[in-house]
């Protein structure tokens, strides 16, 4: 996701130029692991007066040559646990004493946010722009935060152990009359991922090699803001099993290669109808959470 103060026409020209370059690359080389899916966000960080209606947008660019990409958007709480760690929280999740606690001077603005769409299909080599409206109440001031989670599931043509992404877009607002002091930088945010399944094979060194599978993949992530990475794994087929995943490194600052390792035990391939080919057995989900430790403005007393 990218956030800058460019004029709208320049932004459109830049986005389309990027899309054309990616499409040209894919056309020249055919379907490739280098094909990418790009998310851009604009106008989600702002300084404004009470009663203001802010207009942002999320741009979804599918540079995959022959695959649709399903995307789901959800507005969530975004809770600062420490100055270094912020945690997205589903508003429908029950809160208890073990849940993350807000340790900052910020308040939630989740209910102020409206999305133009929440379930989107992006056609191959195409883009969709999702409007984001933020209506600030007239009688409130202070520092406010929420997040929009962009879920990018694995393409439907991927099999085996597949990889999806939850990309967290922060919404950060300072509401004042009149706004003064150090203004928030309205920087664009861009995230680029390269969907690719993970190949797994039987672990011949395991005590039960016929029901134990391991594998890994290396892939590139690109971001304009530092982000922390978390990974989970779960069985999603009748073969079942206990799946675990690890990611290295667990943070990224710009463009870098990451390795995802996965293992599954007690996996019963014999329970799959029609054999083990072209079957999705496990889902690995990578969560990218922006590192906001460089936002001390949100931590002042």
pLDDT digits (tens, 9 = 90+) for 231-244: 999 999 899 999 99
Task: Say which residues have a Cβ less than 8 Å from residue 167's Cβ, sequence separation at least 6.
Answer: 1, 39, 149, 150, 151, 152, 191, 193, 288
Residues in the chain: 301
- Per-residue pLDDT tens for 150-195? 999 988 778 888 999 999 998 988 888 765 544 444 556 788 888 7
Q: Which of 88, 100, 227 is nearest to 151 (CA)?
A: 88
- Does any domain span residue 169? yes
Query: Please, is 220 exposed, middle or buried when counting C-beta atoms within 10 Å of its C-beta (0-12, 13-18, 19+)?
Result: middle
- Does any domain span residue 1? no
Domain that holds residue 159: 8-92+101-299
CATH code of the domain covering residue 152:
2.60.40.10
- Does any domain span residue 3? no
Using the CB atoms, write b or e for 183-207: b if 16+ within 10 Å: ebebebbbbbbbbbbbebeebeeee
Residue 24 has pLDDT above 50, yes or no: no
- Does any domain span residue 136? yes
Q: Which of 127, 128, 130 is nearest to 114 (CA)?
A: 130
- Does any domain span residue 2? no
Q: What is the mean pLDDT of residues 27-51?
A: 68
- Does any domain span residue 285? yes
Q: How far apart are CA 13 and CA 15, in angstroms?
A: 6
Into how many domains does the chain fold?
1
């Amino acid at each position: 996701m990218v956030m800058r103060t460019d004029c709208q026409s320049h932004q459109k020209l830049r986005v389309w130029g990027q899309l054309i370059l990616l499409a040209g690359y894919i056309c020249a080389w055919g379907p490739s692991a280098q094909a990418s899916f790009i998310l851009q966000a604009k106008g989600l960080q702002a300084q404004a007066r009470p009663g203001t209606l802010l207009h942002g947008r999320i741009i979804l660019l599918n540079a995959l040559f022959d695959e649709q990409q399903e995307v789901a958007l959800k507005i969530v709480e975004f809770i600062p646990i420490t100055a270094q760690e912020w945690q997205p929280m589903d508003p429908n999740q029950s809160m208890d004493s073990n849940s993350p606690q807000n340790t900052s001077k910020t308040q939630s603005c989740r209910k102020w946010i409206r999305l133009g769409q929440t379930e989107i299909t992006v056609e191959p080599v195409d883009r969709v722009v999702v409007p984001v409206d933020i209506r600030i109440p007239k009688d409130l001031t202070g520092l406010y935060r929420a997040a929009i989670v962009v879920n990018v599931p694995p393409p439907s043509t991927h099999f085996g152990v597949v990889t999806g992404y939850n990309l967290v877009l922060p919404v950060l607002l300072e509401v004042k009359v009149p706004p003064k002091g150090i203004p928030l930088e309205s920087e664009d945010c861009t995230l680029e991922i390269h969907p690719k399944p993970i190949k797994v094979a039987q672990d011949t060194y395991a005590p039960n090699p016929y029901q134990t599978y391991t594998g890994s993949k290396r892939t590139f992530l690109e971001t304009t803001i530092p982000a922390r990475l978390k990974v989970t794994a779960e069985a999603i087929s009748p073969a079942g099993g206990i799946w675990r995943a690890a990611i290295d490194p667990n943070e990224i600052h710009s463009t870098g290669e990451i390795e995802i390792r996965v293992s599954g035990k007690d996996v019963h391939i014999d329970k799959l109808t029609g054999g083990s080919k072209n079957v999705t057995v496990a889902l690995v989900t990578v969560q990218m959470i922006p590192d906001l430790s460089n936002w001390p403005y949100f931590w002042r007393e």
